[in-house]
Amino acid sequence: MTRSERPHKRGPRTAQAKSTSQPKASRGGRRPAAPPPPSEFTPPVSVTPALPPVASFADLDMPEGLLRTLGEQGVTEPFPIQAATLPNSLAGRDVLGRGRTGSGKTLAFGLALLARTAGRRAEPTAPLALVLVPTRELAQQVTDALTPYAGALRLRITTVVGGMSITRQSSSLRRGAEVLIATPGRLADLIDRGDCRLDQVAVTVLDEADQMADMGFLPQVTKLLKQVEPGGQRLLFSATLDRNIDRLVKMFLDDPVVHSVDPSAGAVTTMEHHVLYVADETDKKAVTLRIAARDGRTILFLDTKRSVDRLVKRLLANGVRASGLHGGRSQPQRNRTLDQFKNGQVTTLVATNVAARGIHVDDLDMVVNVDPPMDHKDYLHRGGRTARAGESGSVFTLVLPDQKRDMGRLMSNAGISPRTAQIKSSDEELAELTGAREPSGVPVVIETPQPTPPRKPAGSGAGAGNGGGRRRRRPAGSAPVGASTGSTRGSASGTGTGGGRGSGTGGGRAAGTGRGAGTGRAAASTSASASAGGGRGGRRTAGTGRPRAPRQRPADNT
């Protein structure tokens, strides 16, 4: 299916300053210098005044099912971004929302999307609401968060991401889904296959739009947004409003309500930031091992897949219940690893930036940057795995001597003044700050999630019937005149049914059972006079087997 390119006739846009992002700087050495912080564009000024924030969910014009489910989920009071944006998004206004990770953005757009879709029924392959996210993990988190509320309104949710069966996702879309949660690449693939169309989408959400820009998804996102219903509602949420986000705002948002929970580089007030200076790589490894052995859930961030796998191996050998998460794992493997971390089977998750967004784990109070992040946004999103929804948490970053200058610049760009300390693995201060302790030293084994092996298709029999096994030789002279013993692959001549590696008897050209899985009908006559000597009948069947020459000719063929 060719993607339609529908021009949008939108209202006038307020002029905005262009983004003045500077190119990344680099220098010699082990790591390039941290890039300067990109300047933010000036958000548009709303022409129509925004509705005031609400004090409680009960003040909102939402279906009773949503209000009831909020209570059942223990959500009693709206977070600031929810209180400010929901009155406007429920009224159909476009929204530009900026808020740090863990600020409640998912329900801020999710409740409005569900409320405005309630009561409608989607046609096959034509969803009514769309949520675009940059990563598979974030797609799953949004799905998990919205599923109880969608169920209360009898709305169907389908999630389409890479790394999972596109055939199953296509089937789900063909059955019909009112809400589609997708990553841009997989959605584009499904549209190209003719398995999805967006012309019925009336509410579109872009979540973590800044990361989509960072990952190079903007061309795909732009093409997708041009295919949704013209004049529909757009909700754009992001932790930062820099780089190319202004292009999306200009092209697709009509007189949006702008709301910002806090400055894009602002630190979470319930989060503590620590920079631990270590002398060399050897002591860094020892410090990492002791922190990983602490009591409680911990995420350790590293730069590469290989370093993640090496550290996991070392931790397991020293008695730390650890598992790795990175882009080299399939999506089912990554899902099972996260389940192990959430249920306590794994206490230390070692990850690359694949886990920096879209992962929510309760009671996670510490994140450790074993390898410092490359820029301030990566730092904020790594740290955002803790201190979520008002809870407290700590972020520790291990810094080698040649990384001090870059780390200082990164913290300045992030607007953070961390506590610093010069640390050795044997220092008591390390235990006081992080809860670090000596690991048990007793190796542990964590079941490594393995990909599900593909199912073997049923084989096609050669000869009679639909068989999948081998032919078993019949001893010479074992078939008396007037009777036959079948041991062929599938069924013998006449009408036969394969049922395992067995043998059966028949009269004349009767059927014998063989190692097959289907039925076959011989083309030859079943006259008793032709049954003498071997009992093997016609050679071509109506099953899937191919023609086969007889292994032994009958004694009398007349």
Q: What is the CATH number of the domain that holds 395?
A: 3.40.50.300
130-152 mean pLDDT: 94
Are 156 and 298 found together in one domain?
A: no
Give the residue numbers spanning the domain of 501: 461-547
126-136 mean pLDDT: 95
- Which residues, 6 or more positions from 171, have their beta carbon under 8 angstroms from its beta carbon? none
Percent of the chain whose pLDDT exceeds 70: 68
**How far is the C-alpha of 127 from the C-alpha of 169, rounded, in Å?**
13
Let me know if residue 17 belongs to a domain: no
Let me know if residue 24 belongs to a domain: no
Contact 471, 489 (CB under 8 A): yes
Among candidate residues 260, 279, 298, the one where a domain is terminated: 260
Are 387 and 472 found together in one domain?
A: no
Are 337 and 204 found together in one domain?
A: no
**How far is the C-alpha of 272 from the C-alpha of 174, rounded, in Å?**
48
Let me know if residue 381 belongs to a domain: yes
Give pLDDT, residue 357: 63
Give pLDDT, residue 358: 61
Lowest average pLDDT, out of 230-244, 371-385, 492-506, goes to 492-506
Contact 330, 286 (CB under 8 A): no
Among candidate residues 236, 260, 284, the one where a domain is terminated: 260
Let me know if residue 552 belongs to a domain: no
* pLDDT bracket for residue 377 (50, 70, 90): confident
DSSP calls for 512-536:
---SBSSEEE-SS---GGG--SS--
**437, pLDDT greater than 50:** yes
284-295 mean pLDDT: 96
Let me know if residue 447 belongs to a domain: no
Lowest average pLDDT, out of 97-106, 157-166, 445-454, 516-525, goes to 516-525
Give pLDDT, residue 102: 66
Domain count for the chain, please give it.
Answer: 3
* pLDDT bracket for residue 198 (50, 70, 90): very high
Give pLDDT, residue 450: 56
208-218 mean pLDDT: 83
State pLDDT tens for residues 8-49. Answer: 434 434 333 333 333 343 333 344 444 444 456 677 788 889
Q: Give me the chain's average pLDDT, please.
A: 77
Let me know if residue 537 belongs to a domain: yes
Give pLDDT, residue 245: 81
Q: Which residue is associated with the tokens 């809400």?
A: 179
Are 210 and 351 found together in one domain?
A: no
Are 199 and 162 found together in one domain?
A: yes
Are 393 and 538 found together in one domain?
A: no
Give pLDDT, residue 471: 44
DSSP E strands in 278-406: the ranges are 297-301, 322-325, 348-351, 364-369, 393-399
Let me know if residue 15 belongs to a domain: no
* pLDDT bracket for residue 269 (50, 70, 90): low
Are 343 and 416 found together in one domain?
A: yes
Let me know if residue 318 belongs to a domain: yes
Report residue 7 as tokens: 């021009």
DSSP E strands in 372-503: the ranges are 393-399, 419-422, 483-486, 495-497
Give pLDDT, residue 163: 84
Give pLDDT, residue 167: 96
Backbone angles phi, psi at 180, to 5 degrees: -115, 125
State pLDDT tens for residues 512-551. Answer: 444 444 444 433 333 333 333 444 444 444 444 444 444 4
Are 282 and 332 found together in one domain?
A: yes
* pLDDT bracket for residue 178 (50, 70, 90): very high
* pLDDT bracket for residue 264 (50, 70, 90): very low
Give pLDDT, residue 460: 41
Comparing 99 with 403, which gets the higher pLDDT? 403
Give pLDDT, residue 46: 82
Percent of the chain whose pLDDT exceeds 90: 48
Are 377 and 509 found together in one domain?
A: no
Tell me the three state secondary structure of residue 95: strand
447-456 mean pLDDT: 54
Are 131 and 223 found together in one domain?
A: yes
* pLDDT bracket for residue 331 (50, 70, 90): confident
Are 102 and 251 found together in one domain?
A: yes
Give pLDDT, residue 515: 42
Are 174 and 151 found together in one domain?
A: yes
For the ranges 211-225, 273-287, 359-373, 465-479, the maximum mean pLDDT occurs at 273-287
Among candidate residues 204, 236, 260, the one where a domain is terminated: 260
458-484 mean pLDDT: 43
Contact 251, 223 (CB under 8 A): no
**How far is the C-alpha of 218 from the C-alpha of 297, rounded, in Å?**
35
Give pLDDT, residue 549: 47
Q: What global pTM score does this model have?
A: 0.59
